């Protein structure tokens, strides 16, 4: 079952490499800017990963939810904290978020089963 996250991470890495190996400067710069947005700044990187998680959940993107959950687990958030953040997403975004909530709970479980907390 862990393989769902491994498959996602490998595909994500492979395609990102392909995109960044391409010639479109604007797209490459966007990817850099995206990475920078979650670095320590006025807010800590840890806080911003949680913002990324909630934004991904209300916009209902499972791949984005998975990516930010991996980062959040690495940053040391507990299950209770992640559930509390997901509850904000659920209230703001409504029941249409529930399928992504189910997905997120499963992803958290998968990550906790990994010795490294990473797929």
* Residues of the shown chain interacting with a second copy in the complex, contacts defined by CB under 8 A: 11-12, 15-16, 18-19, 22-24, 26-27, 29-30, 33-34, 36-38, 41-43, 47-48, 50-52, 54-56, 58-61, 63-64, 78, 80-81, 83-99, 101-102, 105-106, 109
Smallest distance from a second copy to CB 39, Å: 9
Q: Using CA atoms in the order 30, 104, 114, 10, what is the torsion angle rounded to 10 degrees?
A: -40
Q: Using CA atoms in the order 119, 19, 49, 112, what is the torsion angle rounded to 10 degrees?
A: -10
Smallest distance from a second copy to CB 118, Å: 19
Smallest distance from a second copy to CB 116, Å: 23
Please state the separation of Cα 102 from the chain's center in Å.
15
Assigned token pair, 5: 């996250």
Which residues does 22 contact at the CB level (< 8 Å), separation at least 6? Answer: 28
CB nearer a second copy, residue 55 or residue 114: 55
CB nearer a second copy, residue 4 or residue 116: 4
């Amino acid at each position: 079952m862990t393989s769902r996250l491994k498959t996602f991470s490998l595909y994500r890495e492979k395609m990102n490499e392909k995109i960044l190996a391409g010639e479109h400067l604007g797209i490459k710069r966007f990817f850099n800017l995206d990475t920078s947005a979650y670095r320590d700044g006025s807010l800590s990187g840890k806080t911003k990963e949680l913002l990324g998680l909630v934004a991904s959940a209300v916009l209902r993107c499972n791949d984005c939810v998975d990516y930010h959950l991996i980062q959040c687990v690495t940053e040391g958030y507990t299950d209770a904290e992640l559930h509390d953040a997901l509850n904000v997403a659920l209230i703001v975004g409504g029941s249409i978020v529930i399928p992504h909530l189910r997905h997120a709970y499963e992803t958290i479980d998968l990550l906790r089963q990994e010795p490294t907390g990473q797929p």
